Each structure stands twice: as structure tokens, then as C-alpha cells.
Copies of this chain bind each other. A is one copy, B any other.
Amino acid sequence: MYLEHISSPEDVRALPESALPALVSEVRTAIVESTSVTGGHTASNLATVELTVALHRVFETPRDKIVFDVSHQSYAHKMLTGRAAAYLDPARYGEVSGFSNPSESEHDLFSMGHTSTSVSLACGLASARDLAGEKYDVVAVIGDGSLSGGLAFEGLDNAAELGSGLIIVVNDNEWSIAPNHGGIYRSLAELRASGGTSPDNVFRALGLDYRYLEDGHDVSALVKALSELRGTDHPAVLHIHTEKGHGYAPAAANPEGWHHAVPFQVDTGVIRPGTASHPADENYANVTGALLMDWMGTDSRVVAVNAATPYIMGFTPELRQLAGPRFVDVGIAEEHAVSYVCGLARGGARPVLGIYATFLQRAYDQLWHDLCLNDLSVTILVFGASVFGTSDVTHLGFFDIPMLGSLPRLTYLAPTCIEEYLDMLSWSIEHEGGPVAIRVPVAEGVVSRPDFVRADDYAHGCEVLQEGSDVALLALGDFLPLGEKIADSLAEHGFHATLVNPRLATTPDKDLLGRLADGHRVIVTLEDGVLDGGFGERCARELAADDVRVLCYGLPRAYVDRYEPAELLARCSLTVEGVTNDALRALRS
């Protein structure tokens, strides 16, 4: 076996060329074996094995610089840069992160997990090199799926003006997470079909040198093509054709399903027995898709929009087929998604955009400038905004309340249970009062509260679950169950607390706060999000001139990686015991 003896890329370069196919095969097997246990980005990594071996054969990192876009395809890179054991030894699976990570290796330049950034980052590296008068190669590896993001275009457009060397490998496996969307993909298809000779060439149109390699799984051909570009004095694109899931039949047959795999049986590709595939998330996805299909049946204005992750809102391939033009996937293009729904709303439609909180960050200005400034009636479903969402540092979703909290006119709802979520979603579709965002609950299980108190107008007011005294608990969204437990705990200490579902994440109910300030000595806010700029701070300001103590609980303004939710919450005193003790102490002081 070669792989287990590779401790750095130098070892790759020291191998005889004849050994490369075997190395490729070993890397591929390690990807399948390790992700069959841990889950992960199986299919995209299988597509880039030969490319990665060739890159480390030709370039000399860390002196030369390679930036992998999104970096969810960097497993082979990790194996060849001293981290093979984390993929070969089941006891060490999970030791390295699923994304590039400078704290793991000097061969990883950036911590990254959002798409379309690599060319811009590489432009910066190349400029820094030129300003320092040094000589080395800078390579950006970008997938076709990432090309629909506007930042990738900005990067390519600026790369053309660099005036020095930069290599851009376009790894074209014909897929985003789901199928690609956008005119550029027809152009890429024509380039593939014509062996790179089609006249409609977006790279050349931007002024970039362009080369095409049809077999992106021919390691010798890749070595040759990259060697020819080594030391280039101008920006050049190498467009290679790969297969998502290459070399593992189940993944190659269903690239969308295998984009991010849950643990599976290697021989069949079937999910391992006992594997929970985010059941709560799936539940919310399914009910969202079902409710939107109902709405489409009765209101011809309703249209569902998504940016390359249709599954989060329950739009399976089957449902997409049924919805026809009433479901639009704009591809990886979050800025466009938000401006597009603004156009839809102005044109009389009622759009519902489903998006992960971490990716909504990419459309901040469109939220401010196109949506809220124009006061358009759009619903945005914000997924994964929770400590229980993705725990990779690159994809944290719990910065949403501060991000959205200063946008004028936006109603940001935090439902506490599945029933309230669906009611708020239906309400938002009929609401004529401007934009509504809904923080789709995320938790370890689906919370059901069939007796929740409906509102005729969710833009105002809150739900008081229990009237008490001394202590009031404002438990936002999916932290309501935590609030209930704290109330029970306080009751054991003789305090009958008031318990409130605030409903609105960014606009505290001033009337309520005024009333609470009178009958309570301590007010506790609980939010599943970053405290700085969040819900609790807003309550603290509203109450700052009153004679009441406010204790705010939430998550730290910090990057946390692959954390255990319970541990992180405990660190923030976000436990029944922690909050109870603090509240009792404040009551006694």
C-alpha cells in the first residue's frame, strides 16, 4: 500500500509514475470506507481524486498555493498532506474536519465551506506574491456548481486583470449539490461536447486563457496538463471533465443523494441500520413542502424558491416535478434568489424562499436594499439557525438574529413548535405587511404543542403560557422547552415564574416588557443564537431604565467547530440548573 507511507506531498512526487493509479485507487477506497462510517461529502470527493494526486505531483505546497473552493472536495488533499491516517484507521476517523483547515496543516490555506470564493482568494495570494517579488504558483480549484455564484464571476473577471500567473482548474462534474441551474451550464456542456472548442466560452469572453481536458480521471493526462501550466505568467483556466461519485457505483448513479452521505453499507450503498438522518430536519422539510404544495393548489400566486438546496424545504425531485414552474431553483446564487423573489413579489406573486441561515448571509445587502427597503411581501424560511444545526465552523447557523435584527420592516418569527411553524407560514403567505422571515425550529426532535395559542396577526404580540411573579422567562423559539423546564425548576424552589413565547425574534413586545417590569424582579431571556446583537440585548435595552434585573442567555460571539451542543450550552450556562441558580441568586441579591 502506498497511501499509508505518504506523510507529505514530497512522497507523492517521489513515487514512480506507474504507482499513481494504485495510489488513486487507495485514496478512493479510503474515501468510501471512511465516509461509510462517518458520513460526508462522498460523491464530490470521489470526483477529484486523480486531480488531487496530479496537483500534488506537479506543484510543491506549501510554497505553491492551492485553494479548493468550498473545500468539501479536499479529502484526497488531506490524505496526501500528512493526514491519511484519519481516513485509513477507523479509530481515527473524524480526527480531521470535513473542510480545509489551516490549524490542521500548512497545506490548508483557509478555513472555508461556502462556495465561489476560491478565485478571489487566489487572486489575493497571487497579488501578494507579486508585490513581494516572489515566484511560485497559485492554483484555484473550483467546481462547476460554484460557478453560478456571483463571487466566482467577480473573481474570474478580476483574475483576467491580474497581469501575472494564476491557474484556475474548473472541475466540471456536471452537478451542484442538486442539478445545476443557469445559462453557464449550457455553455459548459457545449464546451464538453466540443472538446473545449465551442465558440461560446465564458472564460475566454472574460479574457482568460483556456484549455480543456476531457478525461478528468486520467492522472497522467492531468499531470501533463498541469505541468504545462506550471510557472505560467498569465491567468489560465484548465477545464476538466469529471464524474461526481466516480468509481463507486451507488454514488455515481445518484449524485444528488450522495452529495452529503449519511453512514452507509459499502457493498450496497444502503444507509446503515440505525442511522438517524436528521429526523427533525426531515420532518420540517416534509411539512414545508406539503404545505406549500397545498397553497399552490389554492392560490396561483404562490411560488417556492430555493438556491441549490431544494431538499431543505421538502422539494424532492418528485415534488419539484409536481410543482412545475411554481418551484424555482436558482442554483448557487443566493443574492439573485433574494432579488428574484423581490421581483416576483412586485409582480404580484407570493414567493416563499427557503434558505440555510449560513447561506442567507450571502444576500445581506439584497435583504436590506431590495427586500426590506421596498417593503415587499415575501416569506423567507431560515433553516439551520440553531445550536442544533450544522456544527462545522464554516456553516454555523446561529448568527441569524443579529444579522436580521437591524433590518427595518422585517418581521422575524421564531415558532416554538411544528404547529405554530405551519400556522405562521400560512399567515405569512397572506400577510400584506411586508417581509416576514421564519426561523424554522431545529432541535433534537420535533416539538409538538397542539394547544399553542394561534394569533390572527403574528406581527405583534406574544404568547404567555404561564402568568407568575418574581421571575419572567422569555424563551424564544426552539428554546421554549428549556424555558418550561426552568420554570418547573424554579417552582421547586417556590417561585412561580411567568413563561412567555415571544414569537418575534428581533422586536420585543414593549407592552409585555412594561408589564413584566412591574411584577417581576428578574427577567430571563433565552435564545438559540448569538447574544451580541440578539434578542436578549434588545430586551435589556428596553428594560434598562427600569428597576428590574435582566439575565440574557444565548451563544457566544465566537467560531466554534464540531462542538457537542450540550457541551456548548453548558459552557454558556444554558442549562436548567445554570439558569435556575443564576435567577435564584439574582432574586436574593
Contact = CB atoms under 8 A, between A and B. Distances in A.
Interface of A: 65, 67, 102, 109-114, 117, 120-132, 148-161, 181-184, 186-187, 199-202, 204-208, 300-301, 303, 325-326, 328, 330-331, 333, 335-336, 339-349, 351, 359, 361-362, 364-366, 368-370, 372-374, 393-394, 399, 402-403, 405-409, 506, 530-534, 536-538, 540-541, 543-545, 549-552, 557-559, 586
B339 A124 contact: yes
B205 A128 contact: no
Contact of A339 (B102, B109, B120): B120
Contact of A549 (B159, B328, B540, B545): B545
A394 B408 contact: no
A362 B151 CA distance: 11
B125 A347 contact: yes
Given A157-B148, A335-B151, A394-B373, A114 B341 contact: no
Contacts of A349: 124, 127-128, 131-132
A583 to B, nearest CB: 11
7 contacts: A127-B343, A128-B346, A155-B339, A160-B186, A540-B540, A540-B544, A544-B550
* Copies of this chain in the oligomer: 2
B208 A532 contact: no
B540 A128 contact: no
List 10 A-B pairs, minimum CB-CB distance, nearest first. Answer: A124-B343, A150-B150, A160-B183, A128-B347, A402-B406, A120-B339, A364-B364, A183-B207, A154-B336, A544-B550
A378 to B, nearest CB: 10
Contact of A369 (B117, B154, B328, B351): B117
Given A132-B348, A157-B183, A339-B124, A206 B199 contact: no
A122 B394 CA distance: 32
Nearest to A523: B544
A449 to B, nearest CB: 29
A160 to B, nearest CB: 3
B532 A125 contact: no
Nearest to A120: B339
Given A131-B300, A186-B160, A205-B201, A333 B154 contact: yes
Given A160-B182, A183-B161, A406-B530, A127 B347 contact: yes
A536 B586 CA distance: 23
A506 to B, nearest CB: 7
Given A124-B339, A333-B154, A545-B549, A326 B131 contact: yes
A366 B406 contact: no
Contacts of A538: 532-533, 537
Contacts of A340: 120-121, 123-124, 127, 155, 158
B342 A121 contact: yes
Contact of A541 (B112, B157, B370, B552): B552
